[in-house]
Structure 1
């Protein structure tokens, strides 16, 4: 009677498979266990390593392409932004380049994140397949976890999507003067989640993109400088209007204001009649962002011209006469 040994002296059957890893390992090591386990010890690790190498290579090449498309050189618009609509006013000067560069960097950052997520996600699924795991329950669990995270982080997703659409549509950018409801001021930075504003008092506001329901942009296309001059009741309106017309046209035709003026001024005349006085109005279409400087300059010239002509402001008529006069 013979006893069967726990380890057989016969080589594994896979050794006879021509070109297999089992045959190769057995010929090199003459070890039956290593030869039988060659598929797990050599073949699968090499496949997994190849998957990772290919994934890193694809990610590297994709990121290089994105960097090339989003690179801004001098005044040149990044290639990625050329098909997209741009509303950057040229009056911003050097801020136009900064605005384009920041917009391109932000969109490029999103594209890089998407590429990394897709490439490494596919690589992870392929590696699990190589390990022989059943992907069905894993995919189902991932879907449930994704839904749960979506509900928990819906505000973050809302901010992200709003910021993405805002970037693509170029609703506003660095250097624009905007009113977003709760805050208004000059845009200092634009991100996918938060927009940074600085108001006239120097306060910095951080506004979540998902909370912005409307945006008033004073820096796109053109702006209108509205100049209202109040005069007292009893003023010769025709004379005041003539002075208003003359001063505004002379000022807008002269340097440096003429560089900002896009069209001849409009003298609208009497805008409002109230108990305290009469308001005269003139409007000038100017480059975006230059309306406030134009208004201040015109208002100063008009006040001096009205004073020289003896045209009184409403307040001088409303003051009571001094006692004993």
Structure 2
């Protein structure tokens, strides 16, 4: 069985290196989120890489078609292991933190779908609409029972605080909207960094964080934030060429994400991470241009 997994991974990376790198990153993020079913998460990541290969079918069609038999062979060899992991995979969704993060990942629709298809203008307008809808829904949730049930299912902790402040998701959307006002492509890269970096920081910090460094945040979570932000933005730039930024500028954006996420508490990190990262990367780009 291990041999089939090595074969599938090796052949996949040879034929679709970029797409499978994105799939591996997605698999790691999914496993960190659910902390369960590692082989199933890996296979889902492989399927995601295959999907990206289909998206790039004009250059990778034969590679994708060649991988389908290998993928079927893998499922046959690992069918019992995958079947055993399905219940724990489903059970993991009962964790409010996992549900909240999975819902937050939907924010990647803006940089990964809207931006490549329709450009920065559509990105800005769609985020403005999404922020308005989230804010209005949150303030009217008490009067619409179905919204209340949905809100409590996704984020019960935020639901209990809604009368005092807006939720982390609404703060995240507002921060992404403010970031989208900065010049492209720093704006869209900052949104990717905020989405992935914040999630990795929380997931790693809560499970393995030991060393406190600022305002209760852990060093392990902050380093995971930096790693997730840099890896996510780098792979995203390779997948979406119009969003590519030199690695040194990405590093500045990643550091901005790390320190902003570490300094601010409660929902303020969701609000400020993307705008601060976009501002820092924009400033570095301007400095590099003039000097």
TM bin (shorter chain): under 0.3
TM-score, normalising length: structure 1: 0.22
Which protein has the bigger helix share?
2
Quick check: which has more Rg, 1 or 2? 1
Greater relative contact order, per chain length (Cα 8 Å cut-off, separation 6+): 2
TM-score, normalising length: structure 2: 0.23
